[in-house]
Amino acid sequence: MNIRLLKVGLLIKILIILCVVISPLISQPKQGMYGITTTISEGFIPSQNISTNAGSLNIGMAYMPSDQISIRGELGFRSHKDTSASKNSEFTFAINMWYYLHTAENVSTFLGGALGFGSANDAAGNGTSLLNLSGFFGAEYWFSPHFSCFGHIGLVYASYKITEKPASDVFTSATTGLTWYF
């Protein structure tokens, strides 16, 4: 019985070593992959007027038309208080494009940009439309060919209206997320 346990233990060790050696070769961005993604983002400098659309919980789709490009679309919603303690709700839609710079083992670095649209409503029912543009740098860690986690930091420009007056903010943000590729 001890010999059988030793053989099973040896087999498990060999499988782990093979996974560690082979996984970096197959766990990389590849053309034609698509999947479901979820993200959480937060701005480091909140708006002076309203809380803009950095910080929502998003769900979306990712598609890789080439080994170096990922196109992502996300929908998000959140309810929160702005800087004047009024309750707001937001709906956002964002389109992201990532350009992979380098992949070493299971880590891919990328540059990206996003265009976001949304709307926000306060407790009184007053609404505003939101538009944001962002650029970011990040990394994606591939646990397997079908599952990864990522994070990026960036600079965001947001434009909106407050009581019919245009307003805008520039702030930094951080985002983290998961992607399950099919």
> Is the per-residue pLDDT at 1 higher than 80?
no
% of the chain residues with pLDDT over 90? 35
Sign of the CA dihedral running 18, 23, 24, 30 = positive
Task: For each of the domains in the chain, give its residue range(s) and CATH number, in order of start.
Answer: 2-181 (2.40.160.20)
| CA atoms of 104 and 108, how far apart (whole Å) | 7
Q: Any idea which of 1-5, 91-95, 102-106, 137-141 has the lowest mean pLDDT?
A: 1-5
Residue-level pLDDT at 162: 65
Q: Are strands 147-162 and 34-43 parallel, antiparallel or unpaired?
A: unpaired
pLDDT at 169: 81
28 pLDDT above the threshold of 80 = no
- Region 101-126: what's the mean pLDDT? 84
Q: Which two tokens stand for residue 23?
A: 């996984």
Mean pLDDT of 69-80: 86
Q: Give residue 111's pLDDT.
A: 97
pLDDT at 33 over 70: yes
For residue 123, the tally of other CB atoms under 10 A from its CB is 12
Q: What are phi and psi of 57, to 5 degrees?
A: -90, 125
Cα 132 from Cα 168, distance rounded (Å):
9
Write down the pLDDT at residue 17.
62
pLDDT of 11: 61
